Amino acid sequence: MSDPNLDRTDERILQILRSDGRITNLEMAERIALSPSPCLRRVRRLESEGVIDGYSARLDAKKMGWGITAFIHLNIERHRKSDSEYFTAELAGIEQVVWCQALAGPWDMLLLVVARDLDDYFELAQTLGGLESVKDIQSTIVVGEIKRDLGVPVPHFK
């Protein structure tokens, strides 16, 4: 784990961007009591160092037509590099898989998926379970969202 050399001004910038990625540099500079040029330099530095690794819009799954959200646990048959590469390539081609993490423990992978309805979800689960390297699959359908904060917390700096 790298220890970024960040200070409280960087912390404030990250907190603001985490909650409002569309804020203008001028608004940001005013909120942190810094002139616009140094503020922009700090943001660009945070981007170039990879502390900020991108910007995106959060889309509402239901309003986009995705009525089902589910977590899927998978186990892989063999843990060879070629199988892993195959599985990764196959997942990249399935747009309904919106997130995937490799795990240590009883399951090898945890996926977050969306589907239009139960029929669409069943078809997706069959597709995933039918991939060449998949040994076991277990699904949990989301029935309610409690917290939706996809960013990591901003630690406190000196």
> What total number of domains does the chain contain?
2
Q: Do residue 135 and residue 77 come from a single domain?
A: yes
Q: Do residue 73 and residue 130 come from a single domain?
A: yes
- What is the value of pTM for the model shown? 0.81
Q: Do residue 40 and residue 72 come from a single domain?
A: no
Does residue 3 lie within any of the structural domains? no
Most confident of the following: 19-23, 80-84, 119-123: 119-123
Going by pLDDT thresholds of 50, 70 and 90, the confidence category of residue 154 is confident
Does residue 98 lie within any of the structural domains? yes
CATH of the domain at 129: 3.30.70.920
Does residue 148 lie within any of the structural domains? no
CA distance 37 to 60: 35
Does pLDDT of 3 surpass 80?
A: no
pLDDT in tens, 37-73: 999 999 999 999 999 999 988 899 999 999 999 999 9
What is the per-residue DSSP string for 124-155?
HHHHHHTSTTEEEEEEEE----S----SPPPP
Does residue 155 lie within any of the structural domains? no
Q: Do residue 90 and residue 131 come from a single domain?
A: yes
Does residue 54 lie within any of the structural domains? no
Q: Do residue 82 and residue 135 come from a single domain?
A: yes
Q: Do residue 26 and residue 72 come from a single domain?
A: no
Q: Do residue 86 and residue 43 come from a single domain?
A: no
Domain residues for the domain of 29 are 8-48
Q: Do residue 80 and residue 134 come from a single domain?
A: yes
Q: Do residue 93 and residue 128 come from a single domain?
A: yes
Does residue 53 lie within any of the structural domains? no
Q: Do residue 41 and residue 81 come from a single domain?
A: no
